[in-house]
Amino acid sequence: MTIFSYVFRTIRKLSSSIENNFSSIISLIILNGNGVKFDKGLKSNGIPKVDIWRYGSMNIGQSFKMNNGNNYNMIGRQQPCYFVVRNEAKLSIGNNVGISSTAIICSNKITIGNNVKIGGNTVIYDTDFHSLNAEFRLDFKKDQANTASAPVNIGNNVFIGAHSTILKGVTIGDDSIIGAGSVVSKSVPSKEVWAGNPAKFIRVI
């Protein structure tokens, strides 16, 4: 290793340590400012985007870890984590959950259990965002009033592969695995592997 390489790596390590401490402090301020309730052990690498609407709620259990942005869990498509909880919606995250560059948009109810690992760039939506009726989509109020939503429930010990999409009304049972790049539009029983677009049963664990 050359002297230049050693110095460069030392500076990079120090910079990363300083950034980690700074981003954790800023993240806690953002979460507190949005009224998020969280338990001990929360760690944030990078800074998330959080938007909890006035009558929405978000709760996080112990030992929650998230990676945000360009410098953490570098597997491509880097972005901060996004948490959007709309009016009267409820987002609940259990203990020992880890996520990276994940977007969770909650307009109804999303529940994530304990010991869940969610791969980079995964998105979880409990809403269609727009009406499926073309005429309603021409009018904002009708569009919003006729947009379907349904709760999402992710069980304990679930592993969701990177770049997956979890859609409204889906339940993923305990101990199940979702393959990378999957689009999950149907509920997944416990202890099964599902993958694909749309996601289909692969095998029992």
What is the pTM (predicted TM-score) of this model? 0.89
Place of tokens 């997944």: 188
Using alpha carbons, list the distances in angstroms from residue 92 to 29, 118, 137. Answer: 19, 15, 30
What is the pLDDT confidence band of residue 167, given thresholds at 50, 70 and 90?
very high
Position 75 scores a pLDDT of: 80
Measured between alpha carbons, how far is 53 from 62 in angstroms, rounded to an integer? 23
Per-residue model confidence as pLDDT tens digits over 139-164 = 999 999 999 999 999 999 999 999 99
108 close to 127: Cβ distance less than 8 angstroms: yes
Query: What is the average per-residue pLDDT within 197-202?
Result: 98
Place of tokens 């349904």: 150
Quote the percentage of the chain above a pLDDT of 70. Answer: 91
Instruction: Give the bridge partners for 60, in sequence order.
Output: 38, 93
Q: Is 130 a catalytic residue?
A: yes
Using alpha carbons only, give the angle 84, 193, 162 rounded to the nearest 5 degrees.
Answer: 40
| Contacts of 101 by beta carbon, 8 Å cutoff, 6+ apart | 67, 68, 69, 73, 77, 78, 79, 80, 81, 120, 121, 122
Out of 130, 169, 185, 202, the active site residue is 130
Q: What is the mean pLDDT of the chain?
A: 92
**What are the pLDDT digits (tens) for 36-91?**
999 999 999 999 999 999 999 999 999 999 999 877 777 877 899 999 999 999 99
Q: Residue 132 pLDDT > 90, yes or no?
A: yes
Beta strands at 199-204 and 192-196: parallel, antiparallel or unpaired: antiparallel
Percent of the chain with pLDDT over 90: 81
Token pair 């690992």: residue: 117
Q: What pLDDT shows up at residue 6? A: 62
Order of strands, edge to edge, in the sheet holding 199-204?
Answer: 43-45, 65-67, 98-100, 117-118, 159-160, 177-178, 192-196, 199-204
Q: Which residues contact 111 (CB under 8 A, 6 or more apart)?
A: 92, 151, 152, 153, 154
